[in-house]
Chain A
Amino acid sequence: MIWNETKECMSRDQMTALQSARLVKLVDYMYHNVEFYRKKMQAIGLMPGDIKGLEDLTKLPFTTKDDLRDNYPFGLFAVPNSQIVRIHASSGTTGKATVVGYTRHDLDVWAECVARCMTMAGVTKEDVIQIAYGYGLFTGGLGAHDGAQKIGATVVPMSTGNTKKLTTMMIDFGATAIACTPSYLLHISEALAEEGLLDKIKLKSAICGAEPWTEKMHKEIESRLNIKAFDIYGLSEVMGPGVACDCEFHKGLHVCEDHFYPEILDSATLTPVADGEVGELAFTTLTKEGIPLIRYRTKDLTSLDRTPCECGRTSARISRFKGRVDDMLIIRGVNVFPSQIEAALVEVEEVTPHYMMIVDRVNNLDTLEVQVELDQKYYTDEIRVIEALTKKIAHVIQQALGINAKVKIVEPQSLVRSQGKAVHVIDNRKLY
């Protein structure tokens, strides 16, 4: 089934015309409502009237996560707070969060996009769906929730953290769909297998996102649970989950491109590349009111396919992700930058600035170990002191990143000191 055939199956010409008209309106709206963009345009002598359609998009400057951070918290909002009805936030490269605001219309568009995605995954109003993303500042929980509710499915807002309760309710409620991170779903499948409950579930499909996953994981999820699994993509700056999703043919993720215009940029020159070529994904939010963004650089590497799909949809598809432009890691669905660890460790007097993050996946759950060296004078003869220090460092990291890390104190001079760009991360998960 297709949720919105008019928008998802438009001819290429119609889509381009719609995107062009929306872009022209957006640029005018932003010029008049966001000082940051007005100044940026004035600096390069650009007036709203200069943008006459999609062909002029490349005249506009990029927006980055730094821009959001520098204008923390509400500097890029285009409307007064009286029109903002929801705030979400995600972690940034430093301690400061990236804050986004939604108007009532933005939330409607978001629910519409998620509804399209969930329909791609086969969810209908007959389904009972467990939403097992975190509810809160993170966009995953509430975003998936609103979309499933729009379809009319029976929504069970599980959130994360209690796998036993989740599996019990999955069986008792006869849940037919679930939305969660792929690694968490693998963990759930193991929990079900351990209890011998795999044949008791009625699950048909899973909408998984918030972290990259491999084709191997996809197959594993499908065969273990005997379900269909779908990949949903999104980022809070642009909206949240629902920017794109894959259909039953799994030939890339359909972008809701009447709302989010995708560009693929050459990593070196930042000029758009041809369809099919790999580059950095950027989005222009064509209809957003709260915090519209022009050419927002996602740092995700992918390619674009604008040919019609076997499913009947004509919307552009982005390929499975090929990596990141920066050093961001996604651990248990949380964005983590090594620089955050670095900043956190500066607060701990006993440790040196040298550290190593070791990311792995054990029983399908991401693990993070942070190795630190102590300043020579803080090595001690008492285990009690080392244990207390380990706890203290873990707490500081938890506060900074929002995830638990296992801290390991290592011998002095044992962490690699490299010339030039230091290597601070060993990721054993092989996600790309």
Chain B
Amino acid sequence: MFAKQLTVFIENRAGRLSEVLSVLKENKVNILSMSLADTTEYGLLRLIVDNATLGKEKLIENGFSSLLSDVSIIKIAHTAGSLQTLLKVIDKGGVNIEYMYGLSIESEDAYVVLKASDSEKIDEILNANGVKTLSCEDLAHI
């Protein structure tokens, strides 16, 4: 299963990030997880939200770039070595991870969001190995 990630390209200008967040807030789009990949010139704000389609629409209306992409949200045990175990599984399957970020919601479990080089294959690999993937709604209800 894939989740829709919302990505916004933002220039490194004061206040830009908070403007993005205020557009989402005004439209009651709730942020579940986020990561900011930044370079010296710009940043890519990657968001997992409860309503990605609405978020995208409203951001574009407000003059931001905005796109949706398929990512996998995976629940892993909040214990030492569990992330490494997951990566080994993915490695063995022969796909590359483009990027990855994590969030911890509960005390026992952690969640990671990852984007693989081959989205079809990553799903197969995860399913074959019994790794559970979540949708944005699943995440929203935790």
- A and B: real partners? yes
Binding site for B on A (CB under 8 A): 374, 376-377, 379-384, 386, 408-414
Q: Could you tell me the distance between the alpha carbons of A410 and B7 in the complex, rounded to whole angstroms?
A: 15
Taking a contact as CB atoms closer than 8 A, the residue among B42, B63, B64 that contacts A386 in the complex is B42
Binding site for A on B (CB under 8 A): 5, 7, 9-11, 16, 37, 39, 41-42, 44, 46, 60, 63-67, 69, 98-99, 115
A412 engages B67 (CB within 8 Å): no
With contacts A386-B42, A412-B64, A412-B65 known, is A381 near B7, CB below 8 A? yes
Set of chain B residues within 8 Å of A412, measured between Cβ atoms:
63-65
Closest residue of chain B to A377 (Cβ to Cβ) is B67
Closest residue of chain A to B9 (Cβ to Cβ) is A379
Nearest Cβ distance between residue A243 and chain B, in whole angstroms? 42
Set of chain A residues within 8 Å of B10, measured between Cβ atoms:
411
Q: Could you tell me the distance between the alpha carbons of A241 and B44 in the complex, rounded to whole angstroms?
A: 49
A381 engages B65 (CB within 8 Å): no
B67 engages A382 (CB within 8 Å): no
B98 engages A411 (CB within 8 Å): no
Set of chain A residues within 8 Å of B42, measured between Cβ atoms:
386, 409-410
Nearest Cβ distance between residue B64 and chain A, in whole angstroms? 7
Q: A408-B41, A409-B41, A414-B63 are in contact. List 14 more A-B contacts (CB 8 A).
A: A374-B65, A376-B60, A376-B65, A379-B65, A381-B46, A381-B115, A382-B99, A382-B115, A386-B9, A386-B42, A411-B9, A411-B16, A411-B63, A413-B63
Taking a contact as CB atoms closer than 8 A, the residue among B39, B63, B64 that contacts A383 in the complex is B39
Q: Could you tell me the distance between the alpha carbons of A379 and B69 in the complex, rounded to whole angstroms?
A: 11
Taking a contact as CB atoms closer than 8 A, the residue among A374, A376, A383, A411 that contacts B11 in the complex is A411
Taking a contact as CB atoms closer than 8 A, the residue among B16, B39, B41, B69 that contacts A381 in the complex is B69
Q: Could you tell me the distance between the alpha carbons of A412 and B66 in the complex, rounded to whole angstroms?
A: 10
B99 engages A411 (CB within 8 Å): no
B63 engages A380 (CB within 8 Å): no
A382 engages B98 (CB within 8 Å): yes
A414 engages B46 (CB within 8 Å): no
A414 engages B67 (CB within 8 Å): no
With contacts A411-B9, A414-B11 known, is A383 near B44, CB below 8 A? yes
Nearest Cβ distance between residue B104 and chain A, in whole angstroms? 22
Taking a contact as CB atoms closer than 8 A, the residue among B5, B16, B98 that contacts A384 in the complex is B98
Closest residue of chain B to A409 (Cβ to Cβ) is B42
Closest residue of chain B to A413 (Cβ to Cβ) is B63
Set of chain B residues within 8 Å of A379, measured between Cβ atoms:
7, 9, 65-67
Set of chain A residues within 8 Å of B37, measured between Cβ atoms:
383
Q: Could you tell me the distance between the alpha carbons of A409 and B9 in the complex, rounded to whole angstroms?
A: 10
Set of chain A residues within 8 Å of B66, measured between Cβ atoms:
379
Set of chain B residues within 8 Å of A408, measured between Cβ atoms:
41
Closest residue of chain B to A379 (Cβ to Cβ) is B65
B44 engages A381 (CB within 8 Å): yes
Nearest Cβ distance between residue B16 and chain A, in whole angstroms? 8
Nearest Cβ distance between residue B130 and chain A, in whole angstroms? 27
Closest residue of chain A to B7 (Cβ to Cβ) is A381
B115 engages A411 (CB within 8 Å): no
Q: Could you tell me the distance between the alpha carbons of A414 and B67 in the complex, rounded to whole angstroms?
A: 17
